[in-house]
A and B are shown apart, each in its own frame.
Chain A
Amino acid sequence: MFRKSANPHSYYNTVWREFCKHRLSLLALFIIAMLGLIAVMAPFIANDIPILLYKGGKLYIFPNIFTYSDLQAENLYANFDRWKPSSGEWMLKPPIPYGPLNQELEQSLQGPNRTHWLGTDDRGRDVLSRMIWGSRLSLSVGFVAVGIAVIIGVILGSLSGYFGKWVDTVVLRFIELMLVIPTFFLIITVMAFLPPSIWTIMIVIGLTGWPGVARLVRGEFLKQKQMEYVLASRALGLSNSRIMFRHILPNAMGPVFVSATFGLAGAILMESGLSFLGFGVPPPTPSWGELLKQSQGYVDFAWWLVLFPGLAIFITVTAFNLVGEGLRDAMDPRLR
């Protein structure tokens, strides 16, 4: 019903052009895109289960993502790391042919070498494979947690800014209440009582991350509410929800995107911190923080266990922060 025209001067096109002027932010965006790609493609990059398998006169396509019942019956899925094709059979393994959970105890604590590029841990698991699978977890924690925070923050912030009066007072007090509690310790306390799972972490980080977003959205709503286009919409008898979400919100989302980018970095760091302290994902699931935690006992000689996961966290968090900064500058008309 509402047709959109492709417009070279539209707001987001301008922002994109401005963003491209920041080389470093662009590089950071590229790194994040690559990380995202690696996370999504993890079963094709680091896995002991083959991509293609020719066995018993039958070709199995992508057994790494589809479960074939006859392979399942042979209990092959749990044993691909030890399975060898006999004559006439073949398989195509991913470039890093180790699953994140495959243990080879005789290979434990090896430094980076030709077979294990980033070394192995105390149980002989491939560090690179665990890091690649860990990126899935760390990134999804970031996105889901920030998604939850943004949804709550946008709803409460819009209500507060649009309706003002007692709604505003209640929401503001609630925000202040959340801000005075040190988030990290609140999360640790809550995690101590809840069953450790990836979903609890996402939800708990999300539920504590909204006050910043809410304040931002509230401020934008206060500003936009005074604009004549909002008055015109009210004079035209449009409903409050339509004015809030169809008219004001699109104009108020810019700063939210910026803060969400920073929030992503924060959430990833938060998850790593929690896992490092043992309140995160239960082992053996790999997450970057979990990898760091496992390295605790071997820091003095197995440097690769600390360096690579730490570097991954550092690069990812820095990249998100750089993108956030670039986005903030690109959206700020005073800097043009």
Chain B
Amino acid sequence: MNNHTPYLKVDNLTKYYPVGGGLFAKARNYVRAVDHVSFNVYSGETVSLVGESGSGKTTVARLILRLVEPTDGSIYFDGVDLTKLNSKELRSIRRKIQIIFQDPYSSLNPRMTVYSMLAEVLHVHRIVPKEQITGHIEQLLQLVGLNADAMYRYPHEFSGGQRQRIGIARALAVNPSFLVADEPVSALDVSVQAQILNLLMELQEKLHLTYLIISHDLGVVRHISDRVLVMYLGRIVEEAPTETLFESPNHPYTKALMSAIPKPDPSASLPKLLARGEPPSPVNPPSGCSFHPRCPYATEKCKNESPPLQNISDTHRSACWVFAKNSEDKIPQPI
């Protein structure tokens, strides 16, 4: 693993969705779904992107896959700027970056058998010669823990977990090296979640995959990731190795998230509600630090100036005026 050149480098990635307006009218406003997001993913690691609903996680995933066109910014994959590729160049990149979707019920075409789904991909990308397609599909299904006879069945004949395995097989059909998983287990039963997560980790080892996992489930994130990025209202507020983040979160938002993890101990005291109120609308984000209306530590500076990501250590960065610079001994009390 080379820690100096990132495998995927996201630089100032921005996506604004226009609100209102029409063919001739200008948009009245914008939803800032992703607002100047930068991060790196190194080869072979698992990076998680966490945040609550509406924080822009899924948009980041779709931007990386170029399913959504960015408003601004670049995405470098293996040194190539994905945002500048034409459709032909994009097709070859699509063999290297693949995505797994959240909803195993809508992510498979209900009118196609598993065979026709996978065969189509193998055929279009000429992964294997025609006469080897059936054999290759068998291998793919075995790889994700399904029987070969699953091939001729339709999606509705499978359970949620099995469908997610088919979705993974489809993504793996083109032999990708980078896999974006958009909430890969949040639609599944808890018992099945563990199986799918273990499968993902097994596959990573076997096929030397690099993962970017989008999730709102901190338990899942802690289980599988090497590093974590915390997103709030379209921005990254904290970035740290998993253990550091869970042991000593810096940003008040991260702390609020941590305190919301349910503890398996009924006698444990109720979590402190660190974040007040609802997340604000991304159409009109608050001035300064977008978390300040909900933050118990917010100062005058937080209301007016947007905090940049600052280094706390080599691997730990946080975007907070109050905590990111303060040393441990001067922790301010909640207001």
Which residues of A line the B interface, CB within 8 A?
Answer: 1-5, 7, 9-11, 166, 169, 227-229, 231-239, 242, 246-247, 250-251
Are A5 and B102 within 8 A (Cβ)?
no
Are A9 and B157 within 8 A (Cβ)?
yes
Chain B contact-residue range equals 35 or more
Of all A-B residue pairs in the complex, the 3 with the closest CB atoms, nearest first, are A237-B94, A228-B107, A228-B101
Neighbour of B111 across the interface among A5, A11, A166, CB < 8 A: A11
Neighbour of A251 across the interface among B65, B111, B152, CB < 8 A: B111
With a CB–CB cut-off of 8 A, which chain A residues contact B288? none
Q: Can you name 11 extra interface pairs (CB under 8 A) apart from A235-B94, A251-B109?
A: A4-B113, A7-B153, A11-B110, A228-B101, A228-B106, A231-B99, A232-B167, A232-B171, A236-B121, A237-B125, A239-B124
Kindly report which residue of chain A lies nearest to residue B108, judged by CB atoms: A229
Are A234 and B67 within 8 A (Cβ)?
yes
Are B154 and A7 within 8 A (Cβ)?
yes
Q: Report Cα–Cα, A232/B97, bound state, in Å.
A: 12
Q: Report Cα–Cα, A5/B116, bound state, in Å.
A: 11
With a CB–CB cut-off of 8 A, which chain B residues contact A236? 94, 98, 121, 124-125, 170-171, 173-174
Contact A2 B101, CB 8 Å, known A229-B106, A229-B107 = no
With a CB–CB cut-off of 8 A, which chain A residues contact B62? 231
Are B101 and A231 within 8 A (Cβ)?
yes
In the complex, whether B119 has a CB less than 8 A from a CB of chain A is yes
Are A227 and B106 within 8 A (Cβ)?
yes
Give the contacts of B82-130 with A (CB-CB under 8 A).
90-91, 94-95, 98-99, 101-103, 106-113, 115-116, 119-121, 123-125, 130
Min CB gap B178→A, angstroms? 12
Are B124 and A238 within 8 A (Cβ)?
yes
Are B23 and A232 within 8 A (Cβ)?
no
Contact A169 B23, CB 8 Å, known A11-B110, A231-B67, A238-B124 = yes
With a CB–CB cut-off of 8 A, which chain B residues contact A11? 110-111
Min CB gap B246→A, angstroms? 30
Min CB gap A160→B, angstroms? 14
Are A235 and B113 within 8 A (Cβ)?
no
Are B111 and A250 within 8 A (Cβ)?
yes
Contact A2 B102, CB 8 Å, known A235-B65, A236-B174, A242-B124 = no
Q: Report Cα–Cα, A97/B125, bound state, in Å.
A: 63
With a CB–CB cut-off of 8 A, which chain A residues contact B112? 247
With a CB–CB cut-off of 8 A, which chain A residues contact B156? 9
Contact A235 B124, CB 8 Å, known A9-B157, A169-B23 = no
Q: Report Cα–Cα, A233/B113, bound state, in Å.
A: 15
Q: Report Cα–Cα, A234/B91, bound state, in Å.
A: 10
Are B116 and A232 within 8 A (Cβ)?
no
B59-84 toward A: CB 8 Å interface, digit per residue (1/0)? 00010010100000000000000000
Min CB gap B288→A, angstroms? 34
Contact A238 B99, CB 8 Å, known A9-B156, A229-B108 = no
Q: Give the total number of A-B pairs whose CB atoms are below 8 A apart.
A: 87
Min CB gap B84→A, angstroms? 17
Contact A237 B91, CB 8 Å, known A227-B106, A229-B106 = yes
With a CB–CB cut-off of 8 A, which chain A residues contact B173? 236
5 A-B residue pairs with Cβ-Cβ distance under 8 Å, sorted by A, are: A3-B115, A5-B152, A5-B154, A242-B120, A247-B109
Are A237 and B90 within 8 A (Cβ)?
yes
Neighbour of B103 across the interface among A10, A228, A233, A235, CB < 8 A: A228
Q: Report Cα–Cα, A237/B67, bound state, in Å.
A: 10
B193-223 toward A: CB 8 Å interface, digit per residue (1/0)? 0000000000000000000000000000000
Q: Report Cα–Cα, A193/B285, bound state, in Å.
A: 63
Q: Report Cα–Cα, A10/B113, bound state, in Å.
A: 11
Q: Report Cα–Cα, A31/B125, bound state, in Å.
A: 49
Contact A235 B99, CB 8 Å, known A2-B119, A229-B107, A229-B109 = yes
With a CB–CB cut-off of 8 A, which chain B residues contact A251? 109-111
Specify which of A4, A228, A236 lies most central, judged by the most chain B CB atoms within 10 Å of its CB. Answer: A236
Kindly report which residue of chain B lies nearest to residue A238, judged by CB atoms: B124
With a CB–CB cut-off of 8 A, which chain B residues contact A2? 113, 115-116, 119-120
Q: Report Cα–Cα, A163/B103, bound state, in Å.
A: 24
Are B113 and A5 within 8 A (Cβ)?
yes
Neighbour of A232 across the interface among B101, B124, B154, B157, CB < 8 A: B101
Q: Report Cα–Cα, A229/B110, bound state, in Å.
A: 9
Specify which of A231, A235, A239, A251 lies most central, judged by the most chain B CB atoms within 10 Å of its CB. Answer: A235
Q: Report Cα–Cα, A234/B98, bound state, in Å.
A: 10
Min CB gap B55→A, angstroms? 19
Q: Report Cα–Cα, A2/B109, bound state, in Å.
A: 14
Min CB gap B222→A, angstroms? 26
Min CB gap B273→A, angstroms? 34
Neighbour of B95 across the interface among A4, A229, A237, A238, CB < 8 A: A237
Are B170 and A232 within 8 A (Cβ)?
yes
Min CB gap A75→B, angstroms? 57
With a CB–CB cut-off of 8 A, which chain A residues contact B153? 5, 7
Give the contacts of B119-177 with A (CB-CB under 8 A).
119-121, 123-125, 130, 152-154, 156-157, 167, 170-171, 173-174
With a CB–CB cut-off of 8 A, which chain A residues contact B99? 231-232, 235
Min CB gap A265→B, angstroms? 28
Kindly report which residue of chain B lies nearest to residue A2, judged by CB atoms: B116
Q: Report Cα–Cα, A247/B157, bound state, in Å.
A: 19
Q: Report Cα–Cα, A228/B107, bound state, in Å.
A: 4
Kindly report which residue of chain A lies nearest to residue B174, judged by CB atoms: A236
Q: Report Cα–Cα, A231/B103, bound state, in Å.
A: 12
Min CB gap B121→A, angstroms? 5
Are B115 and A235 within 8 A (Cβ)?
no
Are A3 and B111 within 8 A (Cβ)?
no
Min CB gap B125→A, angstroms? 7
Specify which of A2, A239, A246 lies most central, judged by the most chain B CB atoms within 10 Å of its CB. Answer: A2
Min CB gap B243→A, angstroms? 32
Q: Report Cα–Cα, A1/B123, bound state, in Å.
A: 10
B22-66 toward A: CB 8 Å interface, digit per residue (1/0)? 010000000000000000000000000000000000000010010
Q: Report Cα–Cα, A166/B24, bound state, in Å.
A: 11
